[in-house]
Amino acid sequence: MTARPWRMARRAPLPRHWNVRASDVYALVGANALIIAAMWLRHGGTDQFSTISGTISAIGQLTALLGTYGALLQLVLMSRSPWLEQVFGLDRLAFAHRWLGFATVWLLLGHAVGTTVGYAMGDGSSVLAEAWTFLTTYQYVLMATVGMGLFVVIAVSSVRYARHRISYETWHGIHLYAYLAIALAFMHALVVGTDFKDDPIARIYWIGLYVVAAGLILAFRFGAPIRLNLRHRMRVVNVVQEAPDTVSVYIAGRDLDRLPVRAGQYFQWRFLTPDGWWRAHPYSLSAAPNGEWLRITIKDLGDDSFAARRLAIGTRIFAEGPYGAFTGGSRKQPRVLLVGGGIGVTPLRALLEELPGEAGDIALLYRARRWSDVVFREELDTLAGLRGTTVRYLVGRAGHEVPADPLSAAWLRRYVPDVAERDVYVCGPVSMMAAVAASLRTLGVPASQVHQESFTY
């Protein structure tokens, strides 16, 4: 089986559109933060400001409440809720998840330090003695401390230096401990927390927040993938060599014509082999959905992605998704520019096939260091001929076979003079996407017309 680079007769249904706006989400998050602060005031938060020890303890209480709220928001961001991805897109959600995560850890550390120091000053004891008292006499404080340690480990693994030195699977596995960390802290907050133990309304409110966050996790992180795989029963039907280090995997299943997915989206794929069933890999579709099969294309990046070429026909697959807003649904202009780098061309290949448009409406710039890194050249050329699309290959060493900065503002304007009037979809290495984004800003392309998919395969 090989791809047919033309528009298919059968179309897969589009994913559900959620009637949610970013302003609605901001208002809801802000309103709950105000309610939490108001409850802290109602419970005498500022009454403790008469002494230094009381002030430090009060700050420790407030940081505990805001840190706990931040942790619950992190659960919501981790839930893979499709309405959040539709509204904000993956890159904005990843940015919010990263910085909210760091803020949450600092708030919880502030709670631990503030409460311990404040109580130690009030009791006239040392900080170490007070900490030991908390650990040995207060209910669930030891569990909460373990949870705090897990949060710190997760934060450290997310620092750029560490993130670039561990595999995606290791990083993803570490982040799953966030569920355990929040669970360990829950009983401590419920039994010891000021806003919990003396106010039944506050208890109900906070328990409600936990229930909503857990419900989103269960519905979208676990329930949706289980339902999808029970219905579609996906399996490998072919593996095709695209380049010396790149293969395409063709996937069939039951009722794929009812799978709501768009070109540009990706799944988390688990190939159910003895040595790979426990690892999930994020791969975009490299061909437009057609109701008959799906295709992903995998480049050997030095991790276990190399194992894809050894997949046996008939291997069962557990997929989670589809995820991402890197689709035609984000399009605002009638004309489009696609900019891809290396294997990042995979979702652009699918978009090139699916996006509607007349001749000249779509252009593709494909940057690669070597011709051996170019995949789908035959398919791209065929699609270009059939659809009247312009495809320009920017292949070679910068300053030699191609200009020193082939994706600079000047060169982008030369390739596509009306670039400021187009939607621009960019996918490739992070450094390349950052450079293209800077060039587009120089050219005056509105941010709402620039769509990016982080290159994390």
Q: In the structure encoding, which two tokens stand for residue 235, read together?
A: 């399996």
The string of pLDDT tens digits covering residues 418-432 is: 999 999 999 998 889
Placement of tokens 């919501």 in the chain: 76
Against a cut of 0.85, is the pTM above it? no
The string of pLDDT tens digits covering residues 369-426 is: 888 888 999 999 999 988 888 899 999 988 888 888 999 999 999 999 999 999 999 9
Question: For residue 228, is pLDDT > 60?
Answer: yes
Range picked from 108-117, 324-333, 437-446 for highest mean pLDDT: 437-446
279-296 exposure pattern, b = at least 16 Cβ within 10 A, e = fewer: bbbbbbbbbbbbbbbbbb
Q: What is the pLDDT of residue 13?
A: 67
Nearest to residue 346, comparing CAs of 430, 246, 432? 246
| Beta bridge mates, 392 | 365
Q: Rounded mean pLDDT of 289-295?
A: 92
Q: In the structure encoding, which two tokens stand for residue 19, read together?
A: 């009637």
Confidence of residue 20 (pLDDT cuts 50, 70, 90): confident
Would you say 103 and 74 are in contact if contact means Cβ atoms under 8 Å apart? Answer: no
The phi, psi pair for 277, rounded to 5°, reads -65, -25
The string of pLDDT tens digits covering residues 131-178 is: 888 888 887 788 888 888 888 888 888 777 666 677 666 776 777 777
Q: Give the orientation angle of helix 200-216 with respect to helix 22-42, to 10 degrees.
A: 150
The string of pLDDT tens digits covering residues 348-371 is: 999 999 988 887 899 999 999 888
Confidence of residue 337 (pLDDT cuts 50, 70, 90): very high
The string of pLDDT tens digits covering residues 49-92 is: 888 988 998 898 889 889 989 989 988 988 888 888 878 877 78
Question: For residue 454, is pLDDT > 80?
Answer: no
Would you say 217 and 79 are in contact if contact means Cβ atoms under 8 Å apart? Answer: yes
Q: What is the pLDDT of residue 456?
A: 43
Q: Measuring CA to CA, how many Å separate 373 from each of 191, 204, 247, 453?
A: 58, 57, 12, 19
Identify which has the larger pLDDT, 407 or 454: 407
Q: What is the pLDDT of residue 395?
A: 92
The string of pLDDT tens digits covering residues 238-269 is: 999 888 888 999 999 999 989 989 999 999 99
4-8, 27-31, 139-143, 288-292: range with lowest mean pLDDT: 4-8
Identify which has the larger pLDDT, 190 or 77: 77
Identify which has the larger pLDDT, 164 or 319: 319
Residues 6+ apart with CB under 8 A from 104: 67, 70, 71, 73, 74, 151
Q: What is the pLDDT of residue 185?
A: 77
| Beta bridge mates, 394 | 367
Q: What is the pLDDT of residue 14?
A: 65
Confidence of residue 215 (pLDDT cuts 50, 70, 90): very high
Question: For residue 303, is pLDDT > 50?
Answer: yes
